[in-house]
Structure 1
Amino acid sequence: MNSWRLILGLTITIIFVGLEVESWVMAAGLFFILWKCAIELWKLQKPSRWFTNTLTVAALGLILLRYRTVMSQDSSSSFLILLTSLKLLEERNLRDQKFLFLLGFVLISALFLFSLEVPALGAGLASFFVLWSSQNTKLKYSSIFLKSLPLALFLFLFFPRVQNPFGFQGLMTSNQGQTGFSDELSPGSISKIQNSQELVFRVQFLGSKKYRPQDQYWRGQVLTTSEGMRWTKPSMPVIERTFEKIPQADYEVTLEPQGKRWLFVWEPTERLQSAKFPMVLRKGSYFESVAPLYERSIYQGKFEETTPQVESEAADLQIPELSEPVAVLVKKLTASANSREDIAEKILNHFRAEKFMYSKSPGKTSGSIDDFLFVGKKGYCEHYAATMATLLRAAKVPARVVTGYQGGDFNAYGRFWKFTQADAHAWVEFLNNRNEWERVDPTTVVAPERLELGGVLFEGLPEEWIGQGKAMDYLKSRQAWWIQARETILQNVESWNYDLVLFLIDFNLDKQKELFQEYRTWAVVLGALLLLPFILQSFFRRKKLTYAEWLLKELEAKAQKQNLTREKSETLRQFTQRWAKSHPEIRTSLMTLLDIYETEEYSSKGAPKLSPQQARSLLKSL
């Protein structure tokens, strides 16, 4: 085997699988690979098996200490990375190389468990071909891999997978489930993950209307229990369990695995539908799946055309005991207000007049309602949402906090919106004078750029520009050709990812029926073409001759042309000697071919094997 190709193939998979687990695992794996490279380059002494075995046991102990199990996707993949890199470090012979070759394919399978997007598929295929070439053999049609491709495509198209046939949920990984917020809101709960650009969901609008980042409010959870800066969600009763099929959906969401029940919907949404999982609508107008979602999921939504009227409840006015300065401020803000809408506007004007700031690191001076209002006067979206909802309730206006995602990044090539952790957001709803829940976002007052740019671009905005109306200036600063070229490449790759994901995970029996109804004839032709190689091979399969059998057949054919026939009781050596007596000029060639045949057939030590081309050259001389 070619050691360097083996190292390269394993390195590719270790890097890409390592990106899905904790960083120390990939760092350790790459350290052992670099050690192996140094051994190969400078002929250093290899570590003993006792040393590598001790490290393997230590690695297993660390993983058990961290994950408490080796049966989860993250823990097993982490151990596989460390096991492979340590085995590579101690590799000594062909047996070790073959074992590593097999471990490489297990790593590729682990990679595809994490992701089937374009980068993962590209890395997996590259690793496969590099590992295969390490055997110093060419990839031919006769190989099992190439023969299996048409059959795999046929099975995918004509026998779509059944979604979760036995009711099992996938293995949860530690990198999943980070949706940017939990069932509660407190200072730092959203801001701590704003630097992450981990994908949460993609949205494709099914109509012709165009939307801006500031239009995009995707509702996740409704929090109604107030403890000042901390808001939590009580158990809400279910309003509706079954939904009629939407005749014409307005949007489609592709949600990444999260291990939670949360479903993010356009605000406002009337109803949802999904062919893959049941869901419920809870009081508070938010949707949840019946079971946690451990796999990438797709659902469609229908906009709500009218805002329903509701009656307020005592829970919508619950607040903790407030300090005297806060009570005085509330009395001042409501003194001349004529409606609930006026009170909400006066609170926003207070934030403007007192020059409150939007800060990515507000510190401890904004940890409570009093500190935020009278000391720090700076905070993140959770500070403003929690404070405004508390002030509204103190003014006898029913209010609640909503958490979800706002902004998004539009992909012009794939025509979809992408939402990442950086788009996590919190805002407020209050019951207006018409008894309708109305959204108010205090972030619009202190940081309008957050809504105009979306979470990802906003994170790159200098903090001194926030609240200064410089969103357009920032966008102009990103017009450099190299930035635009990078964005074009990234958006194209993301578009391919999205199309691939939709095709792979959304191809079920219903999609198959739609496809076959539209392309019935072409589907039959394609199926026949995919199966044709296997049918032809089954009916016209010929036994492949060994080198010795081929050589014997060629010798007998040459003898027949010279009117010589081998007797049944005659060995090949006896026949060849008789042939050589009658034609002494070809004796040398005959004896050489005889030695080759006997070496191949009986494994005796004789003349070295000639290539088929060299053997044909000798046969022509007969």
Structure 2
Amino acid sequence: MAERAVPAAQVYGLVGALAFAAAAHGAVLPPWLLAGVVAAFAWRLAVAGGHLRLPGRLVLGALTLAFGIAIALVYGTLLGRDAGVALLAGMSALKLLEWRTRRDALVLVFLGYLLVMARLLYDQGPLTALWLLLACVLLLAAHLACAFETASPPPRVLLGRAVRLLVRGVPLALLLFLLFPRIQGPLWGFQDESRARTGLSDEMTPGSIAELARSGEVAFRVRFDGAPPPPAARYWRGPVLDGYDGRSWRTVGWAEGLRRDAVLGEAPVRYVVTLEPHGRRWLFALDLPAAAPADATLGSRFVLSRRIAVNEVLRYEQQSWLAYRTAAPEAGMLRLQRQLPPGGNPRARALAAEWRALPDPAARVRAALQLFAGEPFRYTLSPPPLTGEPVDAFLFDTRAGFCEHYAGAFVYLMRAADVPARVVTGYLGGEAAPGGEYFIVRQSDAHAWAEVWLPERGWTRVDPTAAIAPERVENGAYGALDEPGELPLLARRDGGWVRATLLELDALANAWNDWVLAYGPERQRELLARLGWPDIDWRGLMLLLVALGGGGAAAAATWAAWRGWRRRDPRVALWNAACARLAEVGLRRGAQEGPLAFAARVAGARPELADEFSAIARLYAALRYGAGADAAALAELRRRTRAFHPRRTP
């Protein structure tokens, strides 16, 4: 039997919906694959227009094999996120060239749904969510069109039905989102160690933070409980680097937490951090973290860290002391913070040897800061390359660098002067969002500073960059650099209305992060506590979901039945009542019988009922299948039906 031709309108609708879903992957698919997908879509549209024919099975098999081999060669595998999404996009496009039956159309619709879900493996921002919601509406409309053998309703009708179906599902989706037991981890995604992320590393080489400062991406957002601390106190602590190999600083293994005998300020600062994914385990907090949030620990040089990497938007409450004096660390820790590679940088070592004559370590710190403040050092994102001995070259030759140059050189000088010191990396500052409700800390705010051990004060923060460019602390990198134009638009102050508009839109992203992406176990417990269930466990949550879901379903069914009863057709109700009375006397209407045919059969079986029932049947047929409702005719049908009471024959 010949296959039914697919209506062109259905082809255009489904191809358009698939193209909209696939377009969301345009930034992650390789150009050659995008070109192949577009070519397949164009081929299928040309077939619908009668300009080309669908390819045969041999051609399709060859194309499938070629796509698979190409993807395997480019990605080195057919597994994993990137290769899997590429394979899904390619095979969806090729399936279009095999589309001949309704079953093929349904397969394509479900492939479109998979494309929508796959995009969430890369991004779950509000704009992406809006795009994918529109894609779901288009795919659902195409799905509805597949139910029609020939011509389907107009696109406007199909889109309206699709929107109504999605709206009806919102209450159940919202209920499941809010109450289904949450687990710690991404809302949508999986841990992918190969994925490149922008953020601080546990290693610092000259130029690494300067490169990061060229990114305008958000690192995290902060909402303070009360007045925010001054700019000079907004140092966001991240990885601490205490190992040096002559070129790079990195973290070495040592566990050190906050000792109980530390002297702390009276009232810690309270705030909430919404951290963007950065693929590492550490969290960020103001100096000095008071405690670790849930599923995190405070240790390893007062750094907050999680058990698993931050691969999702993470919201956590935090407290920090701005005034503190740490207790004495173990002797082994102090030895580690004095270590330098043997040899190298003779001029820096000679200068530090002179400072050793100063009996007070704090005086040696002041001598180093005076060096930076008194010599013609320059704060720049593009310093000249360091050749030979890097610390000597920076201190005595180039004298130009970014914060990592100053922090690294300062710690080197301190260790050479027998003062325990280490590099701390993190972020400095942050910009108040419009309205001042929260602060935005960007990658361009990345910073490196130093900590020195002073017997009378404990670990003490020293920022040598502030000696060179004090504007960096108060106004950010934009006000301190010689070439602020190298910073991204959102890190500058000269962006005009474009930058102002983007900052206003950031409020939408912040709300989306707080209430959708960062809605994890902690937020769910907060919500349940507000609703009066502070101690409910996952079993209780499941019972609550069943109860609410079942109650909602029962209420919806009752409401639908009531609406149906209110809206039932009075013509049909009157006709059914007349037929029911005939059924009581042994004359049952067949399912296939129309009103006039049934009236003729009644007249043959019961002539005495012919006139009365034939009048009812003619009125019903005219009202139901004629020009339309007529109030007078409907009243006449109601009168005759109420008066119609046939009796059984003896």
Tell me the distance in 2 between the aligned counterparts of 1:267 and 1:43.
70
Tell me the distance in 1 between the aligned counterparts of 2:563 and 2:356.
98
Q: Which amino acid aligns with 1:209?
A: A
Q: Give the structure 2 partner of residue 14 of structure 1.
A: 22
Q: Which amino acid aligns with 1:107?
A: L
TM-score, normalised to structure 1's length?
0.74
Is the counterpart of residue 107 in structure 1 residue 115 in structure 2? yes
Is the counterpart of residue 575 in structure 1 residue 598 in structure 2? yes
Q: Which amino acid aligns with 1:108?
A: V
Tell me the distance in 1 between the aligned counterparts of 2:483 and 2:53.
52
Unpaired runs of at least 5, structure 2: 1-8, 146-154, 261-266, 487-491, 535-543, 605-609, 638-650
Tell me the distance in 1 between the aligned counterparts of 2:311 and 2:105.
36
Q: 1:459-481: CA deviations, max 9, x gaps?
A: 9x761789xxxxxxx74x45x45
Tell me the distance in 1 between the aligned counterparts of 2:64 and 2:173.
36
Q: Which amino acid aligns with 1:187?
A: P
Q: Contact 2:297/2:306 (CA < 8 Å) preserved in 1?
A: yes
536 and 422 in structure 1: CA distance in 2 versus 1, 3 angstrom threshold: closer
Q: Give the structure 1 partner of residue 648 of structure 2.
A: none
Q: Give the structure 2 partner of residue 423 of structure 1.
A: 445
Is the counterpart of residue 330 in structure 1 residue 369 in structure 2? no
Tell me the distance in 2 between the aligned counterparts of 1:577 and 1:538.
39
> Aligned-pair distance for 1:71?
4.9
Matches within 5 A, 1:88-103: 88=96, 94-103=102-111
Q: Contact 2:238/2:424 (CA < 8 Å) preserved in 1?
A: yes
Is the counterpart of residue 237 in structure 1 residue 255 in structure 2? yes
Q: Give the structure 1 partner of residue 511 of structure 2.
A: 496
Q: Contact 2:258/2:326 (CA < 8 Å) preserved in 1?
A: no
432 and 61 in structure 1: CA distance in 2 versus 1, 3 angstrom threshold: farther
Tell me the distance in 1 between the aligned counterparts of 2:215 and 2:50.
43
Tell me the distance in 1 between the aligned counterparts of 2:600 and 2:527.
68
Q: Give the structure 2 partner of residue 228 of structure 1.
A: 246
Tell me the distance in 1 between the aligned counterparts of 2:560 and 2:40.
52
Is the counterpart of residue 349 in structure 1 residue 370 in structure 2? yes
2:304 partner SS: strand
374 and 146 in structure 1: CA distance in 2 versus 1, 3 angstrom threshold: same
Q: Contact 1:427/1:439 (CA < 8 Å) preserved in 2?
A: yes
Q: Give the structure 1 partner of residue 202 of structure 2.
A: 183
Q: Give the structure 2 partner of residue 441 of structure 1.
A: 463
168 and 111 in structure 1: CA distance in 2 versus 1, 3 angstrom threshold: closer
Q: Give the structure 2 partner of residue 471 of structure 1.
A: none
Tell me the distance in 1 between the aligned counterparts of 2:311 and 2:570.
57
Tell me the distance in 1 between the aligned counterparts of 2:242 and 2:520.
36
> Aligned-pair distance for 1:103?
1.9
TM-score, normalised to structure 2's length?
0.72
Tell me the distance in 2 between the aligned counterparts of 1:248 and 1:445.
28
Tell me the distance in 2 between the aligned counterparts of 1:458 and 1:30.
45
2:109 partner SS: helix
Q: Give the structure 2 partner of residue 298 of structure 1.
A: 315
Greater shift after overlay, 347-356 or 385-394?
347-356
Q: Contact 1:140/1:146 (CA < 8 Å) preserved in 2?
A: no
**2:530 aligned to which of 512, 515, 521:** 515
Q: Give the structure 2 partner of residue 24 of structure 1.
A: 30
Q: 1:100-120: CA deviations, max 9, x gaps?
A: 322222222233455544223
> Aligned-pair distance for 1:28?
3.7
1:517 partner SS: coil
1:121 partner SS: helix
615 and 579 in structure 1: CA distance in 2 versus 1, 3 angstrom threshold: farther
Unpaired runs of at least 5, structure 1: 467-473, 595-610
Greater shift after overlay, 501-510 or 38-47?
38-47
Q: Contact 1:180/1:421 (CA < 8 Å) preserved in 2?
A: yes
Identical counterparts, % of pairs: 25
Tell me the distance in 2 between the aligned counterparts of 1:294 and 1:241.
30
Q: Give the structure 2 partner of residue 403 of structure 1.
A: 425
Q: Contact 1:556/1:565 (CA < 8 Å) preserved in 2?
A: no
Tell me the distance in 1 between the aligned counterparts of 2:198 and 2:259.
24
Matches within 5 A, 1:208-607: 208-237=226-255, 239=257, 250-274=270-294, 277-282=295-300, 284-304=301-321, 305-310=323-328, 313-320=334-341, 321-331=343-353, 334=355, 339-365=360-386, 368-413=390-435, 415-432=437-454, 434-454=456-476, 463=483, 475=493, 477-478=494-495, 480-481=496-497, 483-484=499-500, 486-501=501-516, 504-505=519-520, 510-517=525-532, 531-532=551-552, 534-535=554-555, 537=557, 541=561, 567-568=587-588, 572=593, 575=598, 577=600
562 and 231 in structure 1: CA distance in 2 versus 1, 3 angstrom threshold: closer
Q: 1:7-62: CA deviations, max 9, x gaps?
A: 4443443344555xx4637x843773377358748976477365665555455445
1:220 partner SS: strand
> Aligned-pair distance for 1:97?
3.7
Q: Give the structure 2 partner of residue 200 of structure 1.
A: 219
164 and 341 in structure 1: CA distance in 2 versus 1, 3 angstrom threshold: closer
Q: 1:475-528: CA deviations, max 9, x gaps?
A: 4x45x45543x1453233233224323773356552243221399xxxx9xx97
> Aligned-pair distance for 1:401?
0.8
> Aligned-pair distance for 1:390?
0.7
2:349 partner SS: helix
Cα RMSD (Å) of the superposition? 5.0
205 and 147 in structure 1: CA distance in 2 versus 1, 3 angstrom threshold: same
> Aligned-pair distance for 1:402?
1.0
2:292 partner SS: strand
Q: Give the structure 2 partner of residue 598 of structure 1.
A: none
Q: Contact 1:399/1:431 (CA < 8 Å) preserved in 2?
A: yes
2:182 partner SS: coil
127 and 68 in structure 1: CA distance in 2 versus 1, 3 angstrom threshold: same
Q: Contact 1:160/1:509 (CA < 8 Å) preserved in 2?
A: no
Greater shift after overlay, 499-508 or 411-420?
499-508
Q: Which amino acid aligns with 2:458?
A: E
Q: Which amino acid aligns with 1:380?
A: F
> Aligned-pair distance for 1:578?
5.3
2:325 partner SS: coil
Q: Which amino acid aligns with 1:33?
A: V
514 and 559 in structure 1: CA distance in 2 versus 1, 3 angstrom threshold: closer
Tell me the distance in 1 between the aligned counterparts of 2:18 and 2:131.
11
Q: Which amino acid aligns with 2:140?
A: W
Q: Contact 2:379/2:482 (CA < 8 Å) preserved in 1?
A: no
